[in-house]
Amino acid sequence: MQDDILNSNDEYQYGFKDSYQPVYSTGKGLNEKIVREISAHKNEPKWMLDLRLKAFKIYQKLPMPKFGPDLSKLDLSSINYFQRATDQVARDWEDVPDSMKQTFEKLGVPEAERKYLAGAEAQYESEAVYASLKQEYAKLGIIFCDTDTALQKYPELIKEYFGKLIGPENNKFAALNTAVWSGGVFLYVPKGVHCKIPIQSFFRINNGSTGQFERTILVVEAGASVNYVEGCTAPNYSEDSLHAAIVEVFVKKDAFARYTTIQNWSDNVYSLETKRASADENATMEWVDGNLGSKVTMKYPSVDLNGPHATGMMLSIAFASNHIYQDTGCIMRHNAPFTSSNVISKSICKNGGVCNYRGKIRMRPNSEGSKSHIECDTIIMDDDSKSDTIPTNIIQNGDTTLEHEAKVSKISEDDLYYLMSRGLTETEATKMIIMGFIEPFSKQLPMEYAVELNRLIDYQMEDSVG
């Protein structure tokens, strides 16, 4: 979240649970002693402990968000804020504990790594349990590891970038993350280096009443490029869990970064995230964001377009059913001349689901020649579901262009009739229309991920007709 922005359970595909016991847990609840305990267990430098303690005090003072979904049923006192699943991060897949290995094998992580990834990381509960970067990319000087390891091995880099885009004062959950963060990804791409195939991380919440607070930092130096992909799942539990991540992405001059997220949380997870990127001169930052699950999602990735001719892109899809609440969108800040942003938001809701687009475009006084285009399209599949578009546009320079389009519709009866006249059933025709609707999103994914997304959408569409 940002500070300045106004299936059926029984069939959930990733709902299996593991019977492992964490090697260490702080137990439920949070106080200053636990914050100190987390830092001590990680053997962190004093400056990080000081930052955690400062953030915890801010967290205690900040109110819950005053907009969007109702968070009153989220019991922060019942959350396990830190659970260590294993004693070390494995660099070889065979060294991962068997129960966790089986989990990630079910999710396809090792297969994905072997076939089409430059590197992969798997996080289980609070910390990474596996991280690997293929040798040819390591030789180029790319750094890819969990953020805890990066703090130990590259402390000066972490100190340079940690919290520089998202401080603890940003919002209550940003403060909470800064106080109790654990795991996440540190990815550094040196000047002029191009990582041509994706790097992936996978985040798994296994136990109920669990908090996951990963801290991810991507630094893409001048003229470099990277495509980073992450996926998230959790089992079904009656107890709510909390996912409150922070992502900071630094895209330097003439560089390119694409950050893709496919989240398929179970419907007992609150996903409350803060993501922000900076793009320097002639840089391009792309967010590709898919949200297909969770009880409540609040997520508004942003781009600060800080250099002339910088470009920001946001392509998102949200799917809500069974009273799931998706409150998603983005923020584009045009802080330099001749910058451009493009926002395409697709959402589908059925069976009482809610999908809202909440966004902000700000054209600063020095943003002359800048352009922004926003498209928000929603399909509402029944009378119990709803969707709103909630834009905020602030224009402080008359020499700029902003276009905003929003459309809410139901499945076209004419389209259904045409497809059914060609021999399709009503269910098959409905699925075909939905797949065409999400094509602008899915075609931006690597082929294997597009296939998986289409399969997840197809699963979500079961029993949509009748």
Hey, where are the domains in the chain?
414-466
pLDDT computed for residue 118 by the predictor: 56
Report the range of poorest mean pLDDT among 29-43, 94-108, 216-230, 274-288: 94-108
pLDDT computed for residue 85 by the predictor: 60
Asked if the model's pLDDT at residue 69 lies above 60, the reply is yes
pLDDT computed for residue 266 by the predictor: 75
Report angle CA 74, 242, 88 to the nearest 5 degrees.
150
Q: What is the residue-averaged pLDDT of the chain?
A: 82
pLDDT computed for residue 198 by the predictor: 82
Report the range of poorest mean pLDDT among 3-12, 252-261, 269-278, 382-391: 3-12
Q: How confident is the model at residue 261 (pLDDT cuts 50, 70, 90)?
A: confident
For residue 205, CA distances in Å to 177, 273, 341, 388, 456 come to 16, 15, 34, 30, 19
Report the range of poorest mean pLDDT among 121-125, 279-283, 392-396: 121-125
For residue 273, CA distances in Å to 173, 279, 368 come to 8, 20, 31
Mean pLDDT of 91-118: 54
User: One-letter amino acid identity for 51?
Assistant: L
Report the range of poorest mean pLDDT among 81-95, 146-160, 168-182: 81-95
pLDDT computed for residue 16 by the predictor: 38
422 vs 124: which has the higher pLDDT: 422
Which distant-in-sequence residues (6+ apart) come within 8 Å of 78 by Cβ? Answer: 28, 29, 209, 239, 240
Mean pLDDT of 8-18: 41
